[in-house]
Amino acid sequence: MRTELPLDQWNRKEHFQFFSGFDEPFFGIVAELDITHAYQKAKAANASFFLYYLYQTLKIVNAIEEFRYRIAEGKVYCYDTIHASPTISRDDTTFGFGFIEFKDTFESFLPGALTEIEAVRQTSGLCLSDQTGRIDVIHFSAIPWTRFTGLTHARHFAYKDSVPKVSVGKYYTQHGKMLLPVAVNVHHGLMDGYHVGKFLSELQSLFDQ
């Protein structure tokens, strides 16, 4: 379900119109998050850490309204629920796109996520579909081989994309803490640095619980 945002009543109407005219309206922020407790919690539960932080990411995305905004035919809609379209790696080093539904709890999220990962790994190619092409998702990718401090995405500027993109890098230990690089790229017509900062802060709080 989605609800159209009344642009004339939106305090960011001018911001939206301004940035929507850009060839590249996306901006990105990279931060390092402390995953010490989250990693230990996932391992204690014998759970995939990839799926654990994907779930936590979706939980915060769904809690922040601006991350549920999408643009369709020049209008802005707020979706009730946002899911994930992650890149899923295979043993032959290729990847395919998947679609994983968000659920209220990690326990209910896990079975569908595991099924989708296995299905993509048993195929070849990009696995493009109506599901992976939905806009009520975040594009999510893991780059576990590289500890990055900056990140860009391949972009087709003629396609009016508004889906947030979250990427994580190789986690590492420093001063007794486990740190994870997290890159967030979002449409500037829909949100600002404040909202990305809020996302990162709330995700860190969730990791600390």
Query: In this predicted model, what pLDDT tens digit does every residue of 32-55 receive, in sequence order?
Result: 999 999 999 999 999 999 999 999
C-beta contacts of 107-116 below 8 A and 24+ residues apart: 109/51, 109/55, 109/58, 110/47, 110/51, 110/55, 113/51, 113/54, 113/55, 114/48, 114/51, 116/88
CATH architecture for residues 2-7+19-208: 2-Layer Sandwich (3.30)
Averaged pLDDT, 111-131: 97
CA–CA distances in Å: residue 88 to residues 9, 45, 51, 167, 177: 40, 22, 11, 12, 27
Percentage of the chain exceeding pLDDT 90: 97
32 strand-pairing partners: 181
Task: Give yes or no for residue 123 having a pLDDT over 90.
Answer: yes
Instruction: Count Cβ neighbours within 10 Å for each residue of 9-29 and write b for 16 or more, e otherwise.
Output: eeebeeebeebbeeeebbbee
Q: For position 159, what pLDDT does the model report? A: 86
Of the candidates 157, 194, 184, 134, the residue with the CA atom closest to the CA atom of residue 32: 184
Task: Give yes or no for residue 116 having a pLDDT over 90.
Answer: yes
Averaged pLDDT, 107-116: 97
Strand, coil or helix: what is 3?
strand
Averaged pLDDT, 81-85: 98
Task: Give yes or no for residue 124 having a pLDDT over 90.
Answer: yes
Q: For position 43, what pLDDT does the model report? A: 93
Task: Give yes or no for residue 206 having a pLDDT over 90.
Answer: yes
**Helix, strand, coil % over all residues of the chain, rounded to 5:** 35, 25, 40
Sketch the domain layout of the chain as residue ranges. 2-7+19-208
Catalytic: which of 37, 175, 188, 195? 188
Instruction: Confirm if 98 and 88 have CB atoms less than 8 A apart.
Output: yes
Structure tokens at 16: 């939206």
Task: Give yes or no for residue 85 having a pLDDT over 90.
Answer: yes
DSSP assignment string, 123-153: S-S----TTTT-SSEEEEEE-TT---S----
∠ Cα 28 70 15 (to 5°): 65
- Does residue 83 have an active-site annotation? no
